[in-house]
Amino acid sequence: MNDFPYDTILEKIKSEGESEIEKLILNQIESFYIDFKEVVDYQTTQKLSESDRKNLAKAVSGFSNTSGGLIIWGVKESGGKAMKAPFKNPKNLLNY
């Protein structure tokens, strides 16, 4: 059974947008079920870079071995703190 409130968090993100994601970042809400990811290589092409594809594959693999989870791209972690790290081509995630 999945005890992670996906529906609640996803609905909040859908309704509140970026402000809800900012709350997760501000409160450092990365957990067993929420993973922040930074786009490492900025590509001008329509695909993710090799290192970002590997990073995505690791995150998806980790979640598939548990109860699932939520990957939030565009967040950098440094010194134990999370911060927004916007990237130029978000459609690249869709064209993976």
Note the pLDDT tens digit of each residue in 12-71: 888 999 899 898 888 877 777 788 888 876 656 667 778 888 888 888 888 887 777 888
What's the whole-model pTM score? 0.74
Which residue segment(s) compose the domain that 49 sits in?
A: 6-94
User: How many folded domains does the chain comprise?
Assistant: 1
Residue 47 lies in a domain: yes
Residue 1 lies in a domain: no
Angle 46-61-23 from CA coordinates, rounded to 5°: 75
| Cα 75 to Cα 68: distance, rounded to the nearest angstrom | 19
Q: Is pLDDT of 96 > 60?
A: no
| Cα 92 to Cα 73: distance, rounded to the nearest angstrom | 11
Residue 24 lies in a domain: yes
Closest CA to 31 of 58, 56, 66, 57: 66
Strands in 1-96 per DSSP E: 34-37, 70-73, 75-78, 81-84
